[in-house]
Amino acid sequence: MPKNFTSTATNKFHGGIHPPENKLISSSRAISKFDSDKYFRIQINQSSFQNIEQAVEIIVIKGQKVIQGEALTTFQPLDRLNVPVHSPCDGVVSDIELFDCAHNSSFPEMTIVIKAEINVDQNRSVTKIENQWKAKSQSSLINKIRKAGIVGLGGATFPTHIKQSSPLKTDISTPSTLIINAMECEPYITCDDRLLRGYANQIIQGALIVSKIVGCERIVFAIEDNKPEALFAVQESINLLAENKIDLSIIVAPTKYPSGGEKQLIQIVTGHELAKQQLPKDLNILVQNVATLFAVYQAIVLNSNLIGRLVTITGNLVDAPGNYWIPFGTSFSHIISQFNVPEKDLKFIIIGGPLMGQKISNFDISTSKKVNCLIFNKRVTNVEIKECIRCGECEAVCPIKLLPQQLYWFSKSEQWKPMEQLDLKACIECGACDYVCPSHIPLVDYFRFAKSEIKHLSSKEKTSELAKQRFDNRESRLTRIKLERKARQKKNALDRKQASENKSVDPDGKKTAILEALNRVKNKQNNTNKINTGITGEE
Amino acid sequence: MKNSPLINSEISTETRSTNQLMILVCAGLIPGAITQFYFFGWGILINLILCSSFAISAEALVLKIRSRSILATLKDNSALLTGLLLGLAIPPLLPWWMSFIGVYFAIIFAKHLYGGLGYNPFNPAMIGYVLLLISFPLAMTNWLPTQELLILKPNLIQSIELTFLGVTNELNNIALIRTMADGFTMATPLDHIRTSLSQGFMLSEILEPSEQNSSFSINSLSWIWVNVAYLVGGIYLLFLKIIRWHIPVSIIASMIIVSTILSIIDDQIYLSASDHLFYGASMIGVFFIATDPVSASTTQKGRLIFGALIGFTLIMIRTFGSYPDAFAFAVILLNIASPTIDHYFRPKVYGTKTTVKQIPEKQTPVKQIPIKQIQENKSDDDFKGLNNE
Ligand code: SF4
Ligand code: SF4
């Protein structure tokens, strides 16, 4: 390895904010043991972008015994999106039911309840198949990743196998790059930081596996400068790497929110902006979060499925804030009791960071692949929402260079068209504008609402257009049939007339009789033909 | 709302609220106000107190009529700021009822008839000022000369009497005070220069310190100090990031450019850039009036244009128009234009200027991964729809 593979970022994105980080609350404690619950509630849909028609199938029944890591759902082979979920413990399926969940939609989800039989925290002996992966084919690696139930663990939960299934191209202008996203720019969250400090080797291994899968020329590890310990750990582990086949470098970026956003990260690393409709793969780039890479390592090298993750438990109501391995399906109320959170002070829990996260006041739900951080804070004084004073602060910080103030103006009067013209769709809902707004206007809420409304309207438009088309088709078909029928009648009448005329001319009637017979046959043929075509036309 | 402001309840105690912003802008006026008080006497203080209390009472009245919460809204301090700005803009010892008309018109017509804070297309203080200027041109251009030149200096009681009654026993009236000044001076330097120019004097004669116009230079020196004080307040606002640099910098730059071009053409008729910047209401206008966010342009590029056009209009009216100073006119004119400016000077949204062209769809066979399962029924549109969510 070259000595100076670490460099500081030279590119930056527009705007951005510097909210108080509040990371020390949880990052100062090493990863510690978490006493698991007896019951786990596993939602069967834990990745974003699940398609309802392609829903996963539950393959366990009530009362069935399961072992740790056993798959509870299948994924249909042709279905590109779904990933399975797995049992976090040895136990029995005690229930399969609808339960509330932490999804944005807040609809209850089909959930499998598992009652643990033996101690969950007991480590299973793992069969290490180290280095065997190098011999495996790319497609078998991807399948393995999918079977292990891996989704993007940075919070977006996009199925990882989809991202990896489009190979990067070799292009001279932009080298194919795997970017390891270790920015962790949201306040409070420290699970990636802690994961890196403890498992840097494994994460780098995971990155090597992914780089083999997508076939990239270089790996860039991107981290903010507020995590020196993690950076050091990664440098150490890169130094240890024996092989030197791939170009592995580190980019240290100044701390600024939202540098961990995919688009912003690409801008920091490469200096390029993704055009509208462009995906990272169009720039020959794949971005993966460190927790995802660790899960890849676990799946490929340790042969274990994704059944839990490192979660940051933090906030001023928690008695031992820190990062804990928490199995998926652990209920929030169990976590509340484990960390002695006084329930009377707790109005809501924040899932994810304070800027892009979600506020939950129903504690009867459980963790999933999406939950990377739980914040238990005592509610501080309510702020007052004032009118927009058009100060332009929001525009100055927007990483997408939108005009939040004008978007807000139009969304208040529900004028969706001008909002679309102002590129509402490009908004990444980072909340930077919210944060700086002196009038404390919940701008992102307005934008989310407008987005869903526009989506709804456009789908309605589509269906009504479809209906109209169908109607038009039917109309034209009916008129066509009518016209055909008329033409037929006319022709028949004409034929009849001709026939009678012929009769009168022909004295002995023989010729006429023959002609008539011929005509009849012909007419019959014509008619049957026409009827046939009429019918087929209708079909 | 389900996802209501997480941020606001968690961490945004760190960012300034609108209420704080407004009170900090008021604080920025302090150096200028003290300097004006020093040079022009009690009349300034009386104006400030009168105008701000008129403003607050007008706001409370309107809120009452519109049945809004009075206290919560008054806390945003925007009415106070309007009152203070108007109080500093009008001449000292102006009859109280004129201040009253100006302030009430500003708050009721220029602000609340448009919907209140955030909706007013014009700077309310400037609307009030222009109304007074047009209705009472004589009184509004009657600035007192600086205290040093006054033989009869009105004290606090006399100033109050003059403001409310127009006369006081010992000093009689304002006209007398003005004529009793040490030598004849027109009110403000810009006034004096304009009148002298129209009498056929050359700038070199007017501005040169000499026996005849010593009183002019004393008077103009006090105006320079007032502008310097506002400059200090403005830099404090910039430093605390209460206002952004775009508008002040672009106004000053365009004032300098335009006036320099003019003075190159004829330096005996057209004032130099430094005179323009430090006479009249230049600095309070640059930092405190034009930067009013509600009525200014909101985009960063737009603000540069907005400021540049204010500077240009200002110099044009001062030089060729019939008013000696024209900050209020320039600002109001550009307030009208600011929605249009905003429309045409939007920032380029992320992704509209791409540095990399789409990579041509040639795939090298070596790197291709045959994933049967996954690549079956694969359509590119699917992919796009997914990741763009
Ligand atoms: S939430 Fe949207 S509009 Fe606001 S700063 Fe982020 S990208 Fe810009
Ligand atoms: S930050 Fe808030 S008050 Fe300022 S322009 Fe944006 S929306 Fe309006």
CA A28 to centroid of ligand 2, rounded, Å: 36
Cα gap A425→A432, rounded to integer Å? 16
Contact A392 B293 (CB under 8 A): yes
Q: Which helix (H) or strand (E) holds A522?
A: helix A510-538
CA B292 to centroid of ligand 2, rounded, Å: 13
Cα gap A54→A78, rounded to integer Å? 9
CA A16 to centroid of ligand 1, rounded, Å: 10
Among A49, A171, A437, the residue with its CB nearest the CB of B359 is A171
Min Cα distance B299 → chain A (Å) is 6
The answer for residues whose C-beta is within 8 angstroms of residue A207's C-beta and 6 or more apart is: A178, A180, A219, A221, A248, A288, A293
Residues 312-371 of A with CB under 8 A from B: 350, 354-355, 357-359
Task: Check: CB of residue A292 under 8 Å from CB of residue A184.
Answer: no
Q: What share of chain A is helix, strand, coil (3-state, %, to 5)?
A: 40, 15, 45
In the DSSP assignment, the letter for residue A72 is S
Backbone angle region of B67, left / alpha / beta, with phi > 0 → left and psi within -120 to 50 → alpha: left
- Model confidence pLDDT, tens digit, residues B320-377: 887 777 888 999 999 999 888 988 888 888 877 655 444 444 333 333 333 343 333 3
Question: Is A18's pLDDT higher than 60?
Answer: yes
**CB A71 near ligand 1, within 6 Å:** no
Among A103-112, A157-166, B130-139, the range of highest mean pLDDT: B130-139
Q: Which residues pair with A8 in a beta bridge?
A: A252
- Listing DSSP states for A432-489 in one string gives HHHHH-TT---HHHHHHHHHHHHHHHHHHHHHHHHHHHHHHHHHHHHHHHHHHHHHHH
CA B295 to centroid of ligand 1, rounded, Å: 23
Structure tokens at B73: 């809204």
Min Cα distance A75 → chain B (Å) is 11
Omega cis (within 30) before B5: no
- Model confidence pLDDT, tens digit, residues A166-181: 766 665 566 788 999 9
Number of Cβ within a 10 Å radius of residue A343: 11
Quick one: fold of A383-505?
Fumarate Reductase Iron-sulfur Protein; Chain B, domain 2 (1.10.1060)
Task: Check: CB of residue B19 under 8 Å from CB of residue B75.
Answer: yes
Mean pLDDT for the stretch of residues B93-122 = 89
Tell me the CA distances in angstroms from B31 to A20, A111, A496, B13, B43, one per residue in order: 33, 67, 110, 28, 17
- Which of A387, A425, A428, A455 to mutate to probe the B interface, most B CBs <10 Å? A387
Any CB–CB contact under 8 A between A150 and chain B?
A: no
Any CB–CB contact under 8 A between A448 and chain B?
A: yes
CA A384 to centroid of ligand 2, rounded, Å: 14
Residue length of chain B: 389
In the DSSP assignment, the letter for residue B243 is S
Residue with CA at minimum distance from ligand 1 atom 7: A427
Q: Which residues pair with A324 in a beta bridge?
A: A32, A311
B247-258 burial, b if ≥16 CB within 10 A, otherwise e?
bbbbbbebbbeb
Percent of chain A past pLDDT 70, that is, above it, reads 85
**CB A261 near ligand 1, within 6 Å:** no
Question: Is B147's pLDDT higher than 90?
Answer: no
Q: Which residues pair with A373 in a beta bridge?
A: A312
β strands within A100-207, DSSP E: 109-116, 177-182
- Model confidence pLDDT, tens digit, residues A331-353: 888 999 888 888 888 888 888 88
Q: What is the pLDDT of residue A518?
A: 76
Task: Check: CB of residue A395 under 8 Å from CB of residue A406.
Answer: no
- Nearest CA among A304, A347, A358, A353 for reference residue A144: A304
Q: What is the pLDDT of residue A37?
A: 84
- Nearest CA among A188, A159, A395, A399 for reference residue A274: A399
First to last CA, chain B: 21
Compute the mean pLDDT over every residue in chain A, rounded to the nearest whole number.
82
- Model confidence pLDDT, tens digit, residues A226-282: 999 999 999 888 888 766 667 888 999 999 989 988 889 998 988 888 877 778 887
Dihedral (Cα; B370, B373, B375, B381), 10-degree rounding: -160
- Listing DSSP states for A114-143 in one string gives EEE-S-TTSPPPP---TTGGGGS-HHHHHH
- Model confidence pLDDT, tens digit, residues A294-342: 999 989 888 888 988 999 999 888 888 999 999 998 988 899 988 888 8
Residue with CA at minimum distance from ligand 1 atom 4: A433
- Nearest CA among B283, B289, B291, B292 for reference residue B231: B283
Q: Where exactly are the structural domains of chain A?
A: 6-12+20-124+136-314, 322-375, 383-505, 509-539
Of A109-113, A153-157, A189-193, B163-167, the poorest mean pLDDT is in: B163-167
Min Cα distance A311 → chain B (Å) is 19
Among A14, A158, A435, the residue with its CB nearest the CB of B7 is A435
Min Cα distance B278 → chain A (Å) is 27
Q: What is the pLDDT of residue B13?
A: 53
Among A170, A437, A442, the residue with its CB nearest the CB of B4 is A442
Mean pLDDT for the stretch of residues A18-43 = 85
Residue A268 is which amino acid? I
Phi and psi at residue A30, in whole multiples of 5°?
A: -65, 160
- Nearest CA among A18, A17, A20, A25 for reference residue A374: A25
Structure tokens at A513: 């009789």
- Nearest CA among A325, A81, A289 for reference residue A203: A289
Residue with CA at minimum distance from ligand 1 atom 6: A430
Q: What is the pLDDT of residue B378?
A: 38
Name the one residue in this structure whose structure tokens are 């791409």: B354
Question: Is A511's pLDDT higher than 70?
Answer: no
Tell me the CA distances in angstroms from B289 to A228, A339, A533, B159, B337, one per residue in order: 46, 54, 80, 27, 16
β strands within B107-247, DSSP E: 167-168, 172-173
Tell me the CA distances in angstroms from A305 to A144, A154, A177, A294, A355, one per residue in order: 9, 18, 27, 12, 30
The answer for residues whose C-beta is within 8 angstroms of residue A487's C-beta and 6 or more apart is: none
Q: Which helix (H) or strand (E) holds B13?
A: none
Backbone angle region of B130, left / alpha / beta, with phi > 0 → left and psi within -120 to 50 → alpha: alpha
**CB A428 near ligand 1, within 6 Å:** yes
Query: Which carries the bigger pLDDT value, residue A172 or residue A15?
Result: A15
Task: Check: CB of residue A290 under 8 Å from CB of residue A190.
Answer: no
- Strands A349-351 and A358-360 come out as antiparallel
Q: What is the pLDDT of residue A45?
A: 78
Mean pLDDT for the stretch of residues A435-441 = 88
Number of Cβ within a 10 Å radius of residue B346: 18
Task: Check: CB of residue A84 under 8 Å from CB of residue A149.
Answer: yes
Q: What is the ipTM of this complex?
A: 0.74
User: Could you name the CATH architecture of A6-12+20-124+136-314?
Assistant: 3-Layer(aba) Sandwich (3.40)
Task: Check: CB of residue A96 under 8 Å from CB of residue A63.
Answer: no
- Model confidence pLDDT, tens digit, residues A225-236: 899 999 999 988
Residue with CA at minimum distance from ligand 1 atom 5: A398
For A77, counting Cβ atoms within 10 Å of its Cβ (0-12 exposed, 13-18 middle, 19+ buried), the class is exposed
Nearest CA in chain A to B12: A435
**CB A299 near ligand 2, within 6 Å:** no
DSSP three-state, residue A188: coil
Backbone angle region of A186, left / alpha / beta, with phi > 0 → left and psi within -120 to 50 → alpha: beta
Tell me the CA distances in angstroms from A441 to A123, B120, B246, one per residue in order: 49, 18, 24
Among A169, A380, A440, the residue with its CB nearest the CB of B364 is A169
Cα gap B229→B232, rounded to integer Å? 5
